[in-house]
Structure 1
Amino acid sequence: MQISRLHYPLSDAFKVSHPTVVAMGFFDGFHKGHQAVLQRAKDEAQKRGVQLAVLTYDHHPAIVYRKMSSHEKRYLTLLDYKMQLLEDFGVDQVFLVNYSYEFQSQTPAQFIDNFLKRFNAVAVVAGFDHTYGNKKTATMKNFPNYVKGAFDVITVPSVNAKDKKISSTRIRIELDSGDVSGVNQMLGRPFQTEGVIVHGEERGRLLGYPTANVEHSEYQWLPKIGIYVVTVEIGGKRYLGMASIGKNVTFSDSHPMTVEINLMNFDRNIYGEVVKVNWLKYLRDEIKFTTPEELIEQLDKDKQATGDYLSDHPEIID
């Protein structure tokens, strides 16, 4: 898959010699709605015998429009992971545009002339609620009026779950409530994050539950504080674990938030490993216990619940 990093205005030297079908979208999360847009574009590209291309952006477009909190600036899928998902889907070309104020200030006609025509687009595909500039005028309903027959316009309807549109916003809300099971249904795969194993305070080892401390990017959206069933991919193999996102409130009132995972039946030194965490089920909130013994008793129950989940879903580990 070829990735072209683009900045407005495009260089005069930039050319796309081959015809393309272009799917437009930010695609944060790569959920079932996004997949429907990409599948429609892929089908069209195969029918026409041309390349499948994606127009997407290097950061949240909302950064241009308003001040965002540090939480809002996080992503469901960090850029490298999103690129990998697009490649796995069969995308030939990604046009990765720097979403700047000048870029979004183009009129729809300028956007088409400056970008889509230069992408040699024979068809452009997007979701029904996609916008490409001013949210009041740059809509998919108005898009054919601006295109004026230069290429075909294909609009993909919403994909719903429980009678509500699947969206990146909805997934973020569900993660903030801990409903990773619902999120995974909307994604069509487990919600996945990536981090590196680093040294922690090793309290878990003293309790009989040693943990792998996973340091994530500050830009990674995580589920809410709590205890979860997870699998961890290390060197291409998946291992069962129970994960804690929290602040170790039993031992401190000012501990920073960490992600700690107790891997079942696992005894290897994995410091420095870059691992992938698949978030499968929410078990409970973080609790402040009076004594370490009370914590150990609860951890025993969490371990049992995690084992029960594996019994019901044996396919989750290798």
Structure 2
Amino acid sequence: MKISRLHYPLPDDFEVGGPTVVAMGFFDGFHKGHQAVLQRAKTEAEKRGAKLAVLTYDHHPAIVYRKMSPHEQRYLTLNDYKMRLLADFGVKQVFLVNYSYNFQSQTPEDFINNFLKRFKAVAVVAGFDHTYGNKNIATMANFPKFVKGAFDVITVPSVNLDDKKVSSTRIRIELDSGDVDGVNKLLGRPFQTRGVIVHGEERGRLLGYPTANVEHSEYQWLPAIGIYVVTVEIAGKKYLGMASIGKNVTFSDVHPMTVEINLMDFDSNIYGEVVNVNWLSYLRNEIKFQTPADLIDQLDQDKTATREYLQRHPEIMD
């Protein structure tokens, strides 16, 4: 998959070889709604003998419009992971555009002439609520009148689950409530994060539950504080685990937020390994225990619940 990192205005010598079908969207989360847009674009590309392409952005478009809190500036899928998902889907070309004030200030006609026509688009596909500039004007309903027949416009309707639209916003809300089971239904796959194994305080080892401490990017959206069933991919192999997102409140009132995972049936030194964490199911909230013995009793129960989850869902290890 070719990734073209673009900035407005495009250089005069920018060229695309051959016709494209372009799917437009930010695609943060790569959820079932995004997949429907991409599948329609893929079908059209195959039918027309064109290259499947994606127009997406290097950061949240909202950064241009308003001040965002540090939490809002996080992502469901960091850019490297999003690119891997797009490549796995069969995308051949990504136009990764810097979403700047000047870019979003283009008129719809300018955007079409400066970008989509230069991408040699024969069809452009997007979700029904996608915008490409001024949100009051640059809507998919208005898109055909701006395109003026230069290429076909295909609008993909809402994908719903439980009578509500599948959306990145909905996924963020459910992650903030700890509902990774619900999130995974919206994604059609486990919610996945990526981090590096670093040294922690090693309290878990003293309790008989050694943990791998996973350091994530500050821009990674994580589930809410709590205990979860996870699998962890290390060097191409998958291991069952129970993960804690929290502040170790049993031992300190001022401990920073950490992600610690007890890997079951595993005993290897993995410091420095970059791992993928698949978040599967919420077990419980973080609890401040009166004694370490009380904590160990709860960890024993969590371990049993984690193994029972595997028995009910053996496919998680595939």
What is the aligned partner in structure 2 of residue 289 from structure 1? 289
Query: Residue 26 of structure 2 aligns with which residue?
Result: 26
Q: Which digits, 9 at most, give the CA deviation of each residue in 1:27-86, with x for residues without a partner? A: 000000000000000000000011000000000000000000000000000000000000
Distance 1:23 1:74 in 2: 23
Cα root mean square deviation, aligned: 0.5
- Matched residue SS, 1:272: coil
After superposition, the C-alpha distances for 1:250-275 in whole angstroms (9 at most, x for unaligned) are 00000000000000010000000000
1:300 counterpart SS class: helix
SS of equivalent residue, structure 2 residue 153: strand
SS in 2 for 1:52: strand
1:240 aligns with 2:240: yes
Q: Could you tell me how far 1:159 is from its partner in structure 2?
A: 0.4
Structure 1 residue matching 2:210: 3-state secondary structure = coil
Distance 1:247 1:157 in 2: 42
Length-normalised TM-score, structure 1: 1.00
**Which residue in the other structure is 2:280 paired with?**
280
For residues 143-162 of structure 1, the aligned pairs below 5 Å read: 143-162=143-162
C-alpha distance in 2 between matches for 1:119 and 1:314: 45
2:174 is aligned to 174
Aligned to 1:130: 130
In 2: Cα distance, 1:221 partner to 1:61 partner: 17
Residues in 2 aligned to 1:141 and 1:76: alpha-carbon distance in whole angstroms: 28
CA distance, structure 2, for counterparts of residue 123 and residue 253 of structure 1:
56
Q: Aligned partners of 1:114 and 1:148: how far apart in 2?
A: 15
**How do residues 84-95 of structure 1 correspond to structure 2 at under 5 angstroms?**
84-95=84-95
- Structure 1 unaligned residues grouped into runs of 5+: none
Name the SS for the 1:261 alignment partner.
strand
Letter in 2 for 1:215: E
Residue in 2 that maps onto 1:10: 10
Q: Distance in 2 between matches of 1:300 and 1:162?
A: 35
Which runs of at least 4 in structure 1 moved beyond 4 Å after TM superposition? none
Give, in angstroms, the shift of residue 277 of structure 1: 0.1
3-state SS of the aligned residue for 2:205? Answer: helix
> What is aligned with 1:298?
298
Match of 1:76 in 2: 76
Give, in angstroms, the shift of residue 17 of structure 1. 2.7
Distance of 2:265 and 2:80 partners within structure 1: 31
Equivalenced residue count is 318
Q: Partners of 1:199 and 1:17 in 2: how far apart?
A: 48
